[in-house]
A and B are shown apart, each in its own frame.
Chain A
């Protein structure tokens, strides 16, 4: 049997990175939120904040552990499966990865230990500082990895040497490449919203069950603040990101819109079915001129269709088209949830309506789905290139055999399914148990580590 190592490596990379991104999406948001909650506890002294912190820091720990182990895989897969890419772009993107490890990973890992096990080892202030440092670490990590990713979409600050390797010419241009600011903001806010809806959903479940009501109100209340104020911001940034993509990667936008012919005054297809073979999209529901209006800010502006590019230079249309609609659809649902929350808040019913609690419960995983869908849009939309317009994905693959990639892929699927299942099970167990009243010092999670310090080591 002839197995294609390129296709299999792509599937493996898509699978492992999709699995991985779920965890950072939650840890970026949770760590910032935990810092706020711990800050509120220090300021107000209300035990309820501490109890919320202690529940969620455990969920954070499980999430973080799964993020770490799946992240280590990513740092090696670049070489095991994409050695052509590593060799070509090492001098340009390598330093960004190195800085991610040096400025973020070590910081997160070391202070996470204190955050989880240092509760009675360090002062309250130092513990709070550790939480803040972990939160900053996750954001720094996002900064570097999104700079590197954005460079693959909108390469800048490089030259190509005689040996056909990418060489750096300007670091500021490499890091702050044209799509980076939009992608960074879009992803960080996505992580915050993912967390908000996750926390809000769990809070709503407690409200429905009439358990842990003081904790649940804080969780739901804070989540709805995010839904109300941050979701509109995300819609705005998403729009700006789209305009930026339109300027730099018009083929991706054509796939997003399901637009085959170059059109002046292109409609936005809300529902439809792109047919690759017929080179057309069967549109069921569309708003005239909307795509042109959003992308060019002119209802009669020109939007390039997929037929501008030869078939071998077009991204796969259906995945990009559908993923985009899933992402935007969830965004609109989040926006609606926020509006309902405002309405209920002014009627003093935010914590009382069962139907709203059920809606929030349904929305619990919405952020994760939107994040995955968004990444599918941008990464599949970059195809057939690994570095947009410059290096094809087919040129990037390692000299490994298809059979071995298939085996490793199957192993990753099996192991990740098992680990993920267990992780979800433990997170659900923690949620079911809920926030626990504050116990005496040596019974809290923090003491999970070691006995009180002794002075030096004896040779007894």
Chain B
């Protein structure tokens, strides 16, 4: 049977693939969840239609990365999947329920009038808000760590609920709002775009605040993280991350003031990339933080070999037609619908 384990460090590559899938999810569903977060604050119904239309062809594909993240984690690191999901039972269920309310709103909103229309507007907004907030909580709870007994989750049902995880919930909400606002700048014009620019500026301010807070808080959650960042020579090697982050903030601020269209979105993505890199540096090499490493949780090398072979051939194709679909729906969004 197919087995690349003598040649390749399979768990490491699989870990990279999962990390990339989750990151793509965060970026892609991030901007469309962000549109949901900003939705009720838009100045008019026409703006809301434009915003909704700008993501309607994409949301389903974007959410598929979440299925790849979950399904992929199950396939490549079943032990981590089996420990993390019960540990985060409540926030995961709440996130899923949020995603249900926002997902169906796309179809239902366009088909209803009057009060029902308003109902699906709220379903879209609060669904997006719930999903986003609990994704942030999940991130925070993951960083704080999970207690393990043998091969199962060994903690209590509310271990995930900490001041830190609530803070990351709020942080991600502003983060996605920033992605959503910069996406809206790119895909709309006129009044909607002007409003989105303001929304982006406000979000950026909060994102800066929360990113600072996270950077200060994380090293004190765990000694290992502190040592990783604040000892020589690591400090020197890792210093470009915070430096680049600061530069990105400033450039994003300026590009918003200069009323650029594409650049704010690209810079917001860069900001997320840097934040994600910082987190990976902090959490390496854990897949269940501070208990189980990538290598301990990895599936059978034959399973990883098969999956990675599939990923090698299929992921480029997937990315290819995803890009094609964004290309088909390029340009500004209209407010029309049937």
State how many angstroms separate the Cβ of A390 from the closest Cβ of chain B.
Answer: 17
A113 to B53, CA, bound (A): 11
B115 within 8 A of A: no
Q: Are A450 and B331 in contact (CB under 8 A)?
A: yes
Complexed CA–CA distance, A401 and B99 (Å): 24
Contact partners of B248 in chain A: CB under 8 A: none
Could you tell me the distance in whole angstroms from the C-beta of A206 to the nearest C-beta in chain B?
Answer: 20
Number of B residues near A (Cβ < 8 Å) is 85
Nearest-Cβ distance from residue B180 to partner chain A, whole angstroms? 17
A45 is an interface residue with CB less than 8 A from chain B:
no
A residues 75-119 touching B (CB-CB < 8 Å): 75-76, 78-81, 83-84, 86-87, 89-92, 94-95, 97-103, 105-107, 109-114, 116-118
Do A79 and B328 touch (CB < 8 A)? no
C-alpha gap A183/B112 in the complex (Å): 39
What B residues does A411 contact at CB under 8 A?
Answer: 93, 97
Q: A436 to nearest B CB, angstroms?
A: 9
Residues from chain B with Cβ under 8 Å of A225 in the complex: none
A125 within 8 A of B: no
Number of interface residues of A (CB under 8 A): 84
Cα A411 to Cα B84 with chains together (Å)? 21
Known A83-B83, A91-B78, A408-B93; contact A116-B71, beta-carbon cutoff 8 A:
no
Whether, in the assembled complex, B60 has its beta carbon less than 8 Å from a beta carbon of chain A, the answer is yes
Residue B325, interface by CB 8 Å: yes
Separation in Å of the A156 CB from the closest CB of chain B?
A: 14
Closest to A171 in B: B306
B152 at the interface (CB under 8 A from A): yes
Known A-B contacts A72-B99, A118-B57, A445-B338; the reply to A426 vs B112 at CB < 8 A is yes
Q: Is residue B290 within 8 Å, beta carbon to beta carbon, of the partner chain?
A: no
Q: Is B167 an interface residue (CB 8 A)?
A: no
Residue-wise interface mask of B (320-338) relative to A, using a CB-CB cutoff of 8 A (1 in contact, 0 not): 0110110011111110111
Interface positions, chain A 144-189, Cβ under 8 Å from B, are 167-171
Asked whether, in the complex, the Cβ of B337 is within 8 Å of the Cβ of A448, the reply is yes
Question: A73 an interface residue at 8 Å Cβ cutoff?
Answer: yes
| Chain B CB within 8 A of A398 CB | yes
Residues in A whose Cβ lies below 8 Å from that of B90 = 404, 408
Q: Is A453 touching B60 in the complex (CB atoms < 8 A)?
A: no
The contact of A65 among B107, B299, B315, by CB within 8 Å, is: B107
Chain A residues near B151: list those with CB within 8 A.
87
- Whether the pair A169, B1 counts as a contact (CB closer than 8 A) is yes
> What residues of chain A lie closer than 8 Å to B259, measured between beta carbons?
459-460
Q: Which among A80, A97, A430 is the interface contact of B71 at CB below 8 angstroms?
A: A97
* CB-defined contacts of B303 to chain A, threshold 8 Å: 90-92, 94-95, 168
| Residue of B with least CB distance to A164 | B151
Q: Is B260 in the interface zone, CB < 8 Å from A?
A: yes
Q: Are B86 and A76 in contact (CB under 8 A)?
A: no
Nearest CB of B to A211, in Å? 20
Return the CB mask of B58-72 against A: 1 if under 8 Å, else 0.
101101101110111
> CA A94 – CA B307 in complex, angstroms?
9
**Which of A275-283, A329-337, A415-423 lies at the interface?**
A415-423
Which A residues between 324 and 353 are near B, CB-CB below 8 angstroms? none
A430→B338 CA distance, assembly (Å):
12
Is B198 in contact with chain A by the CB < 8 A criterion? no
- Report chain A residues within 8 Å CB of B70: 72, 75-76, 79
Q: A107-B321, A168-B303 are in contact. Are A98 and B72 (CB under 8 A)?
A: yes
**Would you call B111 an interface residue if the criterion is a C-beta within 8 Å of the partner chain's C-beta atoms?**
yes
Q: Is the CB of B61 within 8 A of A404?
A: no
Is the CB of A443 closer than 8 A to any CB of chain B?
Answer: yes
In the complex, how many angstroms separate the beta carbon of A9 from the nearest chain B beta carbon? 11
- For A116, what are the chain B residues with a Cβ–Cβ distance below 8 Å? 56-57
Cβ of A447: which chain B residues have Cβ within 8 Å of it?
334, 336
A87 and B82 contact, Cβ closer than 8 Å, known pairs A95-B310, A167-B300, A449-B57? yes
Q: Contact string, B220-239, partner A, CB cutoff 8 A, digits 1/0?
A: 00000000000000000000
Contact B75 A95 (CB under 8 A): yes
Task: Tell me the complex Cα distance, A452–B81, Å.
Answer: 44
Give the Cβ gap from A144 to chain B, nearest Cβ, in Å. Answer: 10
Interface residues of B (CB under 8 A from A): 1-2, 53-54, 56-58, 60-61, 63-64, 66-68, 70-72, 74-79, 81-86, 88-90, 92-93, 96-97, 99-101, 103-104, 106-108, 110-112, 151-154, 157, 186-187, 258-263, 299-300, 302-303, 306-307, 310-311, 314-315, 318, 321-322, 324-325, 328-334, 336-338
**Lowest 9 A-B CB distances belong to which pairs?**
A90-B78, A79-B85, A94-B75, A113-B57, A87-B82, A91-B300, A83-B82, A398-B86, A109-B61
> Can you pick out 12 interface pairs between chain A and chain B where the beta carbons lie within 8 Å of each other?
A64-B60, A87-B152, A91-B303, A97-B74, A99-B310, A102-B315, A106-B321, A113-B329, A167-B300, A398-B85, A444-B338, A459-B263
9 more A-B contacts (CB under 8 A) besides A73-B96, A419-B100?
Answer: A62-B111, A73-B100, A80-B88, A90-B299, A118-B328, A398-B82, A398-B86, A447-B336, A451-B331
